[in-house]
Structure 1
């Protein structure tokens, strides 16, 4: 797919992202009490409405031949056999949406052969849309159309770094890992998209995911990864290998670090060593 086409597709994705954010805000300001539970957590009418809006808008504007679609709400457990796949989380941070922390997001990412190429992360309550095209930087767009090029912080000593973490969702092993890493302080933020935006805004520097009884999925990470790496950050498994998407199993088992970059490899290695000690204790 050539550069011109990718830029056209990104423009459409930004329009769809803003629209999905508007759908969520209508529910957020209204009745969000219609909640059902599934294995991976709560689902609201807003999740389903935003999902329907995104898929319908994309299929109307882009069709179903050039692209395939993998959404949290419609995933059937199988790898999608198509080189170009949209990975969609219509509402990342459903618990924060229900609790009205304002820290929920829309994730939209186009991957090619398993790696992100176009990314849109919308934070509706902040009225911000972060977007990136592979190799062309990361930007924040506001409602009035103003664009700001995003760059992660240059903090380079582990003791100067701020960790961004969830308020909940941690088992004891994960908590022990975080407690033993030498960060300056912690910021507590919902939604993975909001956490990575926190790093883009230079308010935080590191986010860590460690699977336990549950684990993050493709749609949690695909869009946030690209907006981070295009802003100069790094994103990898503890072992250093890149994250692949649409591989059949969407669960991201193991440990993953997203960071501003300078201490990335050291933090990965330190995390491996700490976990080894914890598991031997």
Structure 2
């Protein structure tokens, strides 16, 4: 990410967020992608702002959730690139609960090393650079450093990110090791950010996600002192794989 002004990336994420909010505050059209997931006008507006902006600001290629299939094949030859999700949490956007984000990550040889997660409806921004620090900004307040919290002494003291009402069998099995733990819910990549800022201890993602869903928040978690591990192997979650789907993973403090 040499010669890249990080503030430029933050400003770009905010611009994409502003474009999303213009549509969020009025009626919007919802289309279907080939996989039948909802696609809004806001996805495409943010996509164009981010892709064009990153190409103007840097020399690195860009992969977006909305990129062409050709780009999604070509990225296997990329060592360093931007990985973005223009609107993570499309369902939250359609429900108008505010829990959706703009995700911008930098991938270096299969690892997310820098990430920005911006929730425009909440006006909350998370920023992380691995090996440096993680930060959070609410509104126009100054950036403040964030970090994962210390491991609780008792299993019952854990705060776990997950659904209170729609729990899979895998999630129920996982939380059985944490009797009386507090379960909190959140949409989109904000779930990982809850661990990064010390508001939760563990986020078990025991369902499918794509690389662009997690990369930016993954970098923030690591910058805050946490880890994102594959659930079955306990190895770090990796990027730019042949298959863009992530395996199940666990987010927690080191």
Q: TM-score, normalised by structure 2?
A: 0.89
Q: Secondary structure at the residue paired with 1:204?
A: coil
Q: Is the 8 A contact 1:79 1:246 kept in 2?
A: no
Could you list the runs of 5+ residues in structure 1 that have no partner in the other structure? 262-281
Q: Is the 8 A contact 2:30 2:38 kept in 1?
A: no
Q: Residue 162 of structure 1 corresponds to which residue in structure 2? A: 159
CA distance in 2, matches of 1:223, 1:166: 22
Q: Paired residue for 1:252, among 240, 246, 249?
A: 246
Q: Residue 228 of structure 1 corresponds to which residue in structure 2? A: 221
CA distance in 2, matches of 1:149, 1:21: 22
CA distance in 2, matches of 1:99, 1:185: 25
- How far the C-alpha of 1:187 sits from its partner, in A, is 0.6
Q: Secondary structure at the residue paired with 1:54?
A: helix
CA distance in 2, matches of 1:125, 1:205: 25
Q: Does 1:202 align with 2:198?
A: yes
- How far the C-alpha of 1:107 sits from its partner, in A, is 0.7
- How far the C-alpha of 1:145 sits from its partner, in A, is 5.5
Q: Paired residue for 1:78, among 63, 70, 73?
A: 73
Distance change >3 Å, CA 26–CA 94, structure 1 → 2: same
Deviation string 1:38-62 (CA, Å, 9 cap, x unpaired) is 4162111111111111111111222
Distance change >3 Å, CA 197–CA 35, structure 1 → 2: same
Q: Residue 265 of structure 1 corresponds to which residue in structure 2? A: none
Q: Does 1:174 align with 2:183?
A: no
Q: Is the 8 A contact 1:151 1:200 kept in 2?
A: yes
The total of aligned residue pairs comes to 248
CA distance in 2, matches of 1:178, 1:44: 34
More helix by share: 1
Q: Paired residue for 1:190, among 181, 187, 192?
A: 187
Q: TM-score, normalised by structure 1?
A: 0.81
CA distance in 2, matches of 1:147, 1:53: 24
Q: Secondary structure at the residue paired with 1:74?
A: coil
Deviation string 1:134-183 (CA, Å, 9 cap, x unpaired) is 2111011244251100112224233211111247886x433432452315
- How far the C-alpha of 1:23 sits from its partner, in A, is 1.0
CA distance in 2, matches of 1:243, 1:177: 22
Q: Residue 210 of structure 2 corresponds to which residue in structure 1? A: 217
Q: Does 1:242 align with 2:250?
A: no
**CA RMSD for the aligned pairs?**
2.1
CA distance in 1, matches of 2:164, 2:251: 18
Q: Is the 8 A contact 2:118 2:126 kept in 1?
A: yes
Taking the TM superposition and a 5 Å limit, the aligned residue runs for 1:83-98 are 83-98=79-94
Q: Secondary structure at the residue paired with 1:78?
A: helix
Deviation string 1:6-53 (CA, Å, 9 cap, x unpaired) is 5x2x22211111111111111111122433244162111111111111
